[in-house]
Chains A and B, each alone.
Chain A
Amino acid sequence: MWVTNLKIVGVVLGVLSLYTLIANKIPQVQSEVPQALALGANVTPEQLVAAGEKVFNGIGGCTTCHGLGTRAPNLLTDEKGTGPIGARCGRRETGKTCKQYLFESLDNPTAYVVPGYQPIMPVMTKQLSPEQVWAVIAFLESQGGTVDVTASDIPAPSPGALTPGASPGSPGSGPPGFAAGSTDPKAIIQAAGCLACHKLDGQGQMIAPDLTHVGSRRDAESIRKKILDPASSVAKGYEKLAGIMPKTFGSMMNASQLEALVQYLAAHK
């Protein structure tokens, strides 16, 4: 019996080793992770700029406002005679280099609102990974200026490096929300910059649907859904602008703010 058992083991092992051998005999090709998505320690300015351009035009959603010329300053082209962003960033705030200014305006956008524009820009450091933020800065610097972003600017990725575009809140507590957590709907609307696109009670822009009578078109549930997931539905006549509304409001305000805002809007019949 032992002889039979050994023979069986022999046949099994023989077949296994044959297959393993053949698979190892052929040339070995490993599929690598593409370079552009992982900016290593010796990343060149060119690579940063190229990656930043991708983020700027794609996942960062920057072109939604910057570039139309109405909602935010132009960055890639001349803005009121001051040149593209790379040329003017160093002069925007005294005492701040171009790099510092760009980082801070991505990290705390409401601090540097250009006169004539609404404070509608989301906090980009919460939307993008550090690599992506610094790549965008490098790209912006390349527009008329010199790129001085290096790999040392990028903080070493934390063990839980962000997946691109994931929007983390502060752990456990949730976002503080707009206007220091106020539940006054008017303050939220003001702070969130809704009126940069929407019109409400005669104020605001006409880029997006007028919200004055929104309560007669949508119920509270529908409004809530639209704020949390703007792509879920598109108002009639605005199909071409679908996707412009930022998807981040849901993660920027806290639950009571959202509820207050929804009830306020739903009451606008």
Chain B
Amino acid sequence: MSLRLPPALRRYAEHPFWQAVGLLVLAYVVVVFVIPLLPGSAIVPKSVVLQYMATVLVGVLIYVSDNEERWARFKEPLGALATEPRLKLVRGVVLAGVTGLVGLVTYGQVRTTVAAPPNLRSIHPAPPTEITFRGHSVTLTGLDNPLRQHPESAAAHLVVGKRIYYQNCLPCHGDHLDGQGHYASGFNPIPANFQDNGTIAQLTESFVFWRIAKGGPGLPREGTPWNSAMPRWEDFLTEREIWSVILFLYDQTGWTPRTWEKTVSSER
């Protein structure tokens, strides 16, 4: 504590107990209020807040107990709170507060709400090794976009892909390919944001092909509980059209598709 603090405050700042309390409060403020303020950021989900705070709490407990002297000093206020007659009022408040808090948390857990419960959808479930596209089978493993074999005609395919995108995909995935189409807010799960580094940038083109061809109905169970509204585009588009729209997605966003050799997933 190199800050110039008044002696009374300094006594608190050097006491391990109040340091611990301070650290916890600081961490909470950073996670809940500071992170959402950063440019391009958003609120942190409660599950993650809980996880971060638990980690910090463990760290703080280690800090106060990793040497005997500090541990003894840390326990002082707690011991005092439990026994000292002059703290009777504080003791009462703390006991009531803890009891109330437990009650409140329990209430929050069992209360029925109209909101859908938090859920985990696996955004990128494991693809099958092969699929049937309009009656003939397509092997996905090791498959690359066949339209890339002829770079000279790429421009033509891009034009087709762009037209397909604007005719079919635009209402949900949006003009900027960012998943903010006109209908997007009505869906749960929300449409994929292709600009995000976590979607097509992480995937092979064959995976994208599978998702477009089979849509929401083709998702395996880990892609639930909420069913994606994405249609099965194999009913409306030809194989070639799907490949050209994939070409367009990558071209427009500037991502390069994941390649096949020796890949290890980046998701953990």
Contacts and interface: CB of A to CB of B under 8 A. Distances in A.
* A touching B, CB within 8 angstroms: yes
B218 to A, nearest CB: 12
B119 interface: yes
Contacts of B105: none
A29 B221 CA distance: 8
Q: Give the dominant DSSP class at A's interface.
A: loop
Contacts of A50: 132
Given A50-B132, A57-B137, A27 B120 contact: yes
Nearest to B50: A25
A26 B221 contact: no
B141 interface: no
Contacts of A27: 118-120
B222 A26 contact: no
B185 to A, nearest CB: 23
B122 interface: yes
Interface in A2-58: 26-27, 29-32, 34, 50, 53-54, 57
A32 B221 CA distance: 7
Nearest to A28: B120
Contacts of B137: 54, 57
Interface residues on B, range: 10 to 19
| Residue from the set B118, B119, B221 with the largest chain A CB neighbour count within 10 Å | B221
Contacts of B122: 29
Interface residues of A, number: 11
A57 B119 CA distance: 40
Contacts, number: 20
Contact of A26 (B120, B132, B135, B220): B120
B120 A30 contact: no
Contacts of B135: 53
A206 B221 CA distance: 50
Contacts of B120: 26-27, 29
A31 B222 contact: yes
A27 B117 CA distance: 10
A27 B132 CA distance: 31
A26 B135 CA distance: 39
A236 to B, nearest CB: 29
A27 B122 CA distance: 11
Contact of B222 (A29, A34, A53, A57): A29
Nearest to A25: B47
Contacts of A31: 221-222
Nearest to A58: B137
A27 B226 CA distance: 13
Nearest to A50: B132
Contacts of A54: 132, 137
A146 to B, nearest CB: 18
Interface string A173-194: 0000000000000000000000
| Residue from the set A26, A27, A50, A54 with the largest chain B CB neighbour count within 10 Å | A27
| Residue from the set A29, A32, A54 with the largest chain B CB neighbour count within 10 Å | A29
A34 B129 CA distance: 13
A27 B135 CA distance: 36
Interface string B132-165: 1001010000000000000000000000000000
A57 B130 CA distance: 13
Interface string B197-233: 0000000000000000000000011100000000000
A34 B118 CA distance: 26
B221 A30 contact: yes
A198 to B, nearest CB: 31
B235 to A, nearest CB: 14
B109 to A, nearest CB: 11
Interface of B: 118-120, 122, 132, 135, 137, 220-222
Top 3 nearest A-B pairs (CB, nearest first) are: A27-B120, A29-B222, A32-B221
Given A29-B120, A32-B220, A53-B135, 13 more contacts: A27-B118, A27-B119, A27-B120, A29-B122, A29-B221, A29-B222, A31-B221, A31-B222, A32-B221, A50-B132, A53-B132, A54-B137, A57-B137
Interface of A: 26-27, 29-32, 34, 50, 53-54, 57
20 contacts: A26-B120, A27-B118, A27-B119, A27-B120, A29-B120, A29-B122, A29-B221, A29-B222, A30-B221, A31-B221, A31-B222, A32-B220, A32-B221, A34-B220, A50-B132, A53-B132, A53-B135, A54-B132, A54-B137, A57-B137
